[in-house]
Amino acid sequence: MYQRKTAIKNDCSIEKALNVVSGKWKPAILSELLKTNLRLKDIQIGLPEASKRALTQQLKEMIKDGLIEKEDFNQFPKKTEYSITSLGAQLSTVFAALSKFGDNL
Amino acid sequence: MYQRKTAIKNDCSIEKALNVVSGKWKPAILSELLKTNLRLKDIQIGLPEASKRALTQQLKEMIKDGLIEKEDFNQFPKKTEYSITSLGAQLSTVFAALSKFGDNL
């Protein structure tokens, strides 16, 4: 009779990927940034239920994870935009797969 | 100047998909069940750090979500196996995308 003798290899890559995209507003923000650059104000208008504090926290985490970047434009009035990085852009395949799967739930 | 006027459409499918696969041991269990049917004992041996209670809880949730199913074989000694459903099998694309993305993190 078959009996497992070795540990199930926890696919660290899957866990790591899930960790960086799992945040209350992260999928929504990332999906939008995959289409266009956004200012915080645009994100706030787009996600009115989210507090500014929560959004800036999630944006900060995604910058740290290398998924997005923040650019300050040297102009008046001050303008700051968030954009997707090349690493973050690779999430389009992940989101397409998740979205297709989620459609069946 | 561009200014967002409408709410960001929260892609419910992505959220739903993330919700059903995000559980401490779920990706590991699902990855294995995508390959072969398993008894609880096999899963326990494979994930020695997980408590039996945590594993059965996560298995129960995945059955409820329709990702896996549990089959009792009418034999002695009693045998119960977990297997992936056709819905759960669609996760192979999702996991492949997550794994490929996670490799770059």
**Which ipTM value was assigned to this complex?**
0.84
Residue B8 lies in a domain: no
Residue A87 within a domain: yes
- The answer to whether residue B3 sits within a structural domain is no
Tens-digit pLDDT profile for residues B30-45: 999 999 999 999 999 9
Residue A61 lies in a domain: yes
Nearest residue to A84 (alpha-carbon basis) of A97, A67, A100, A101: A67
Between B75 and B36, whose confidence is greater? B36
Q: What distance in Å separates the CA atoms of residue A34 and residue B28, rounded to the nearest whole number?
A: 29
**Is residue B19 domain-resident?**
yes
- Return the percentage of chain B with pLDDT > 90, whole number: 76
Residue A72 β-bridge partners: A80
Structural domain count of chain A? 1
Interface touch A102/B13, C-beta < 8 Å: yes
Residue A20 lies in a domain: no
Q: If you measure CA to CA, which chain A residue comes closest to B25?
A: A10
Domain that holds residue A69: 25-103
Residue B98 placed within a domain: yes
Dihedral angle computed from the Cα positions of residues A20, A21, A22 and A23, in that order, rounded to the nearest 10 degrees: 90
DSSP-assigned letters across all residues of A26-45: HHHHHHHHTT--B-HHHHHH
Mean of pLDDT over chain A: 90
**The CATH number of the domain where B76 resides is what?**
1.10.10.10
Per the CB < 8 Å rule, is A31 touching B8?
yes
Q: Give A40-98 pLDDT, tens digit per residue.
A: 999 999 999 999 999 999 999 999 999 999 999 988 888 899 999 999 999 999 999 99
CA distance A10 to chain B (A): 5
Give contacts of B10 with chain A, Cβ < 8 Å.
Answer: 27-28, 47
